[in-house]
Amino acid sequence: MTIDALEGVLNEMGLNNIGDIHWNSSTSQLYEDAIRRGEGFLAHLGPLVTRTGCFTGRSPNDKFVVDEPESRKQIWWSKVNKPFSEEQFDKLFQRACNFLEGRNIFVQDLLVGADKAYELPIRVITQDAWHALFARNMFIRPGNFGRKLDVNEPRFTVLHVPHLNAVPSIDGTNSEAFIIVHFAKRQILIGGTQYAGEIKKSIFSVMNYLLPQREVLSMHASANVGEAGDSAVFFGLSGTGKTTLSADPKRKLVGDDEHGWGENGIFNLEGGCYAKVINLSKEKEPMIFETTRRFGTILENVGMNFKSRYLDLDDSSLTENTRAAYPITHIPNAIYPGIATHPKNIIMLTCDAFGVMPPISRLTPEQAMYHFLSGYTAKVAGTERGITEPQATFSTCFGAPFMALHPSVYGRLLGEKIKRHNVRCWLINTGWSGGSYGVGKRMDISLTRAMLNAALSGELDDVAVAEDPIFGLPVPETCPGVPSDVLHPANTWEDKAAYETKAKALAKAFHANFVEYADMVSPEVNAAGPCVS
């Protein structure tokens, strides 16, 4: 980029030089308007490439909830929600404020929740301009929403000090990083990590606390809408395909990661997308690929040749968890703000590292409840610190790290809404086929899309099903565009005995995991798990 080009950008934004840039509502609106028009110098600029240091993913062991009287009885105290004392929080919060004294800070006032009946005004205060842009990309921009925020209205405040490291022996943290939520004070304190995903996920944890208390199901899920107005919800952990599968050129995108399901239907909690982009392909994922070339997109830890300025989306030298954070309006067919009708289909996505789960199954309501509470998938490399290859795990509600309340709360709400709105439910495995990780191969995304499209279009409604003998799942016998042998995992393994051993081991793991939920569900849901115990 030349100096003349840079001056043109600044002039277009009404600025004289770099020192004049303050990311307030006025300059942000000019920036967004220029992007939307695709005019001038901004149309020729690329994304912002950033580095997040040693933290290239979430740090779940460094997340805490302040133990205080207002929320104490409602919080699901567990390894996910670890208690932190009010005294320790106050001291660390004050230290963060002292650390910021005399330094430049960036402030964003934003909204969470596209449905105005449930929206939450938030304020994000951070040290870095790129983290402020991240927040503006990820949440709902009030100016676009037709609503101006009153600086005095109640809001959650995120104080983000990524360059302040905690001292565990003094601050009571587990490491130099900390993510602490104080529900009574409506404050979130984040520090010691530059990974921007902590900002969005801490707010998601807040919405998982607030919305269910209003009988709204908060969901770690993406969503889209077909031409006939039929909406679909995609549950799944990071790396299972939520973003990829919901970004369909033939359907309108509601959102890629976090939603609520209230009385009026589903709604996006965010105003942006945070897509994994490792090995991203223009041929297989064209819409997401294009966002990596757009001005305003932030690329975290993506490989780049600093001489030629060419991106290398296949470069995993820093992490497998490379990310693109962009406004949802970068997706051509996105709905912004994201609001849709009650879903016609629910798809639960799993990434089975053992290669034994069927690639698609039609679930009964009881099976949907069972698999929602189980949340089986694999932790994908780089999503969390220390994970270098997929590991099998159970994450209740497909989002245990972000669930502030007991899983039974979310399970009850899901079951009630499935029955009330007569929702069709599917389990889709985007993981391995033909063998376990290291032997088999990841399911081809074109086949997964074919199965998904058939499910959403109703083409599988009258197809005969065969019950999987180990997992008890109803598997379609045929699917347009998919070889029949692919639909039954045992057929794809050369070593049938090895398949049976792996499948039975996973079935037993399902049963062992579900013991925790057995007392809170009906006998029918308890019986909806694998046939082999």
**Which residue out of 323, 362, 385, 502 is catalytically annotated?**
323
**Which residue out of 136, 201, 424, 502 is catalytically annotated?**
201
Q: Is 186 among the catalytic positions?
A: no
Q: Is 4 among the catalytic positions?
A: no
Q: Is 446 among the catalytic positions?
A: no
**Which residue out of 242, 342, 362, 417 is catalytically annotated?**
242
Q: What is the largest CA-CA distance in the chain?
A: 71
CA dihedral 127, 131, 132, 137 (to 10 degrees): -170
Q: Is 257 among the catalytic positions?
A: yes
Please provide the DSSP assignment of 112-136 as one string.
E-SSTTT-EEEEEEES-HHHHHHHH
Count of residues making up the chain: 533
d(CA 58, CA 395) in angstroms, rounded, equals 15
CA dihedral 305, 308, 312, 316 (to 10 degrees): 0
Q: 489: cis peptide before it, omega within 30°?
A: no
CA dihedral 11, 17, 18, 19 (to 10 degrees): -130
Q: Is 322 among the catalytic positions?
A: no
Long-range contacts at 1-7 (CB < 8 A, ≥ 24 apart): 1/45, 5/41, 5/44, 5/45
Q: Is 252 among the catalytic positions?
A: no
For residue 273, give the DSSP letter: E
Tally of CB atoms within 10 A around 516: 13
CA–chain centroid gap for 400, Å, is: 12
**Which residue out of 71, 240, 243, 430 is catalytically annotated?**
243
**Which residue out of 58, 63, 141, 200 is catalytically annotated?**
58
Q: Is 238 among the catalytic positions?
A: yes
Q: Is 220 among the catalytic positions?
A: yes
**Which residue out of 257, 276, 297, 361 is catalytically annotated?**
257
Degrees, nearest 5: CA angle 59-288-328: 75
d(CA 298, CA 327) in angstroms, rounded, equals 10
**Which residue out of 220, 252, 417, 502 is catalytically annotated?**
220
For residue 482, give the DSSP letter: B
Catalytic residue numbers?
A: 58, 201, 220, 238, 242-243, 257, 323
